Amino acid sequence: MMRRISRGIINRSLVLLVLISPALALSDNGWPTYKGAWFSVRHPPEFEVRPSLRSLSAVQGYDSAFFIGPDAEVEFYVFSPQWNGEPKDIAFNPLTEEYVSQKEERKGGKQIRWATIKARDNKYLKSFVDTEDKHLNTRKVFAIRYRDQQA
């Protein structure tokens, strides 16, 4: 049950927040656009943007960013470097976190991993989808960290 709910939260959130390709046309809803080194994301205006990992392949810009809700109960995350890389800024910490669910799937050269992690002190849940293409040497990760299902 948790896996289905968490994946649903991720999918709905990503539909609302992420424009990985500028070629995708969505109506202008007045949301500001954050431009990373290799991706763009429209986000609600009240969300604070915190760039995280500097790009290893661009002179300027970041390969990842956090989008933090005004009450800090929800935050979204995008990692999308030009080439493959490690999303070290959301790495699993076995001392403070535990897996609730995880699933892995392979499609062609792509490895897709879904997981939900919870803090051992029950302060948050973190769900993500991590898509890595070994043939094209690319990777993108979308995540959401939330206080509870209601948030």
Q: Which two tokens stand for residue 73?
A: 């109960």
pLDDT band at residue 124, thresholds of 50, 70 and 90?
very high
pLDDT band at residue 26, thresholds of 50, 70 and 90?
very low
Q: Where are the domains of the chain?
A: 2-22+31-146
Amino acid at 5: I
Average pLDDT value for residue range 61-90 = 96
pLDDT of res. 148: 85
Average pLDDT value for residue range 22-27 = 42
Q: Assign a CATH topology to domain 2-22+31-146.
A: Protein Transport Mog1p; Chain A (3.40.1000)
% of the chain surpassing 70 pLDDT: 81
Task: Give residues with Cβ within 8 angstroms of 100, minimum separation 6.
Answer: 2, 3, 6, 116, 117, 118, 125
Amino acid at 100: V
pLDDT band at residue 3, thresholds of 50, 70 and 90?
very low
21: buried, middle or exposed (CB in 10 Å: 19+, 13-18, 0-12)?
exposed
Element (H, E) at 104: strand 97-107
pLDDT band at residue 28, thresholds of 50, 70 and 90?
low
Helix (H, G, I), strand (E, B) or coil at 4: helix
pLDDT band at residue 15, thresholds of 50, 70 and 90?
very low
Average pLDDT value for residue range 23-37 = 74
Average pLDDT value for residue range 119-134 = 96
pTM equals 0.79
pLDDT above 70: residue 23: no
